[in-house]
Amino acid sequence: MNDPAPRPACSGFPWLVAASQLVGLAAVVVTGVWMGNYRGGFAWDGSVREFNVHPLCMVLGLVFLQGDAILVYRVFRNEAKRNVKMLHGSIHLLALVISIIGLVAVFEFHKVAKIPDMYSLHSWCGMATVVLFSVQWVMGLLFFVLPVASAWLRALYLPVHGFCGMMMLVMAIGTSLLGITEKLLYTIMPTYFKFTSEGVLANILGILLLCFGVLLCYLITREEYRRPPNPEEESLSIHFKTLTEGKSPTTP
Amino acid sequence: MNDPAPRPACSGFPWLVAASQLVGLAAVVVTGVWMGNYRGGFAWDGSVREFNVHPLCMVLGLVFLQGDAILVYRVFRNEAKRNVKMLHGSIHLLALVISIIGLVAVFEFHKVAKIPDMYSLHSWCGMATVVLFSVQWVMGLLFFVLPVASAWLRALYLPVHGFCGMMMLVMAIGTSLLGITEKLLYTIMPTYFKFTSEGVLANILGILLLCFGVLLCYLITREEYRRPPNPEEESLSIHFKTLTEGKSPTTP
């Protein structure tokens, strides 16, 4: 019995990354088409056209860019860790800024239209996601960029940081799906069950977001796609830590 | 510098499991209270009271029981693998049966009320989850209970099986949240934004389901909570495999 068969390292990785990018970009485009073609387009005037900025920003920032910010640790797993860390933080920051623009859009629209804020499950989940996302970004900066935390505290926090990142991506996607359902029922309830083109397009957007989430989670959790441990980097990290604590690098 | 500090194995595990069970049961109870007190209770007569069986069955079967079926591998990680495997499969089967009752309830209600099926994002996601869940159960039976797959094929499939299980739990929770939003907008749209008790209760149900998902995913993915490898079980498994393939157990 020839058991077990040898497997190539990182099998299917480039195809899965390509698929995730295609699906993620398709979700952004479909959101733009839905808001642009069916809901009157975009503006920044307090009207429903300002509301339309909200879904586009959230799908682009909190889903697509958040996903890609996580993915850089897999795609550039053989590059210098410091550079990848900076790229990770920068894309997350961009995602956060775009998400905040998206939030401002919906709150301004609510204010002009005199619609109460924060009553729906979508808004509760969405606000929790954005707040936790901001906290996670600051924690990441404190723990992994600025020399604030001790080495063992960083090691303790790293898996929690990774887990929370994945959960936030899942929450962002779940919240987007809730937003799609809310928008459809508030606008086309009398015709949604007739499989109208807008309803089907929005459902397809939901499925695209779901597929993006599944692909990303698979790429993040698969052991063989992880960044290989680099003893040189580890020793450099300890060296840096020792220096910042004012001790000789040769101290064990 | 005393680095790194020793950590106790499985820190916080019993508390996290207890929290997950409390939150999960609370979600089932709140679903029952919502349907029972606000939506007219339960019956099996094709009326909206038959529809009310649907959310209760899905939250109980596809969320709570599916989650617990996964969790048995962590809670009983020191018990004999064969017994745990049987428990895992049995709870999943119970979850599947309850989910199918929940599906029959909604399809029968739709038939009597002449409401079209499968038009909403909730129904698309839900049907995908139940179909994939059934396929996953059969695949689990073929790969890990019946001696169908070779040892290396089982080893190859195991992480995919685990990943798909977690994704299905997440999909079940996401679909439940979509169902909550749909139900609220179809029934209390004119008052939902006034923070009526029904709306707030249903939102809290959504948050409970979300918390159950986060707790379960943490318990499943945390490395220190995994079942420790047991060389005796591994060798028994290979022995069994060799016997079923009609070769001598001493063959490498």
Interchain pair B174, A171: CB under 8 A: no
State pLDDT tens for residues A46-65: 999 999 999 999 999 999 99
Residue of B nearest to A246 (CA): B1
* Banded pLDDT at B179 (limits 50, 70, 90): very high
Specify the pLDDT at position B234: 52
Please report the ipTM that was assigned to this predicted complex.
0.90
Q: Do B121 and A150 touch (CB under 8 A)?
A: no
Q: A218 contacts in B (CB within 8 Å)? A: 163
% of chain B surpassing 90 pLDDT? 84
Q: What is the mean pLDDT of residues B100-128?
A: 98
pLDDT in tens, A159-188: 999 999 999 999 999 999 999 999 999 999
Q: What would the pLDDT profile of A133-155 be if each residue is shown by its tens digit?
A: 999 999 999 999 998 999 999 99
pLDDT of residue B122: 98
Residues of A in contact with B199 (CB under 8 A): 119
**Are the CB atoms for A61 and A54 separated by under 8 Å?**
no
CB contact under 8 Å between A156 and B251, yes or no, is no
The answer to whether B177 contacts A177, with C-beta atoms less than 8 Å apart, is yes
The predicted pLDDT at position A232 comes to: 59
Q: Where are chain A's structural domains?
A: 13-244
Closest CA to B119 of A52, A201, A212: A201
Long-range contacts of A159-168 (CB under 8 A, 24+ apart): A159/B222, A159/B223, A161/A136, A162/A220, A163/B217, A163/B218, A163/B221, A163/B222, A164/A132, A164/A136, A165/A70, A165/A136, A166/A70, A166/A217, A166/A220, A166/A221, A166/B217, A167/B214, A167/B217, A168/A66, A168/A129, A168/A132, A168/A133, A168/A136
Check CB contact of A182 with chain B, cutoff 8 Å.
yes
Average confidence score pLDDT of chain A? 90
If pLDDT is split at 50, 70 and 90, which confidence band does A95 have? Answer: very high
Residues B70 and B218: their CA atoms lie apart, in Å, by 12
Cβ–Cβ below 8 Å for B181 and A181: yes
What pLDDT, on the 0 to 100 scale, is given for residue A146? 93
Give the DSSP per-residue string, A36-99. Answer: IIIS----SSSSHHHHTHHHHHIIIIIIIIHHHHHHHHHHTTTS-HHHHHHHHHHHHHHHHHHH
The average pLDDT across A79-105 equals 97
Question: Percent of chain A beyond pLDDT 90?
Answer: 84
A100/A110 Cα distance (integer angstroms)? 15
Q: From CA A214, how far away is CA A125, in angstroms rounded? A: 19
User: Using CB atoms, which residue from B4, B210, B242 is nearest to A125?
Assistant: B210
pLDDT at A198: 98
State yes or no: pLDDT of B252 exceeds 90: no
A199 reaches B (C-beta below 8 A):
yes
Q: Which residues 3-32 in chain A show a CB within 8 A of chain B?
A: 3-5, 7
- Would the pLDDT of B251 be above 80? no
- Taking only the tens place, the pLDDT of each residue in B199-243 is 999 999 999 999 999 999 999 999 899 988 775 555 444 444 444
Question: Does 3.30.499.10 match the CATH number of domain A13-244?
Answer: no
Give the mutation candidate from B136, B160, B181, B183 for the A interface (greatest A CB count, under 10 A): B181
Say which residue the tokens 């209970």 belong to.
B145
Cβ–Cβ gap B163/A221 under 8 Å = yes
Which residues in chain B are contacts of A121 at CB distance < 8 A? 177, 180-181, 184, 202-203, 206-207
Residue B114 — pLDDT band, cuts 50, 70, 90? very high
What count of CB pairs under 8 Å joins A to B? 137
- Mark yes or no for CB contact B151/A4 under 8 Å: yes
- Confidence category of residue A4, pLDDT binned at 50, 70, 90: very low
Closest chain B C-alpha to A178 CA, distance in angstroms: 6
Instruction: Pick B1 or B126 by higher pLDDT.
Output: B126
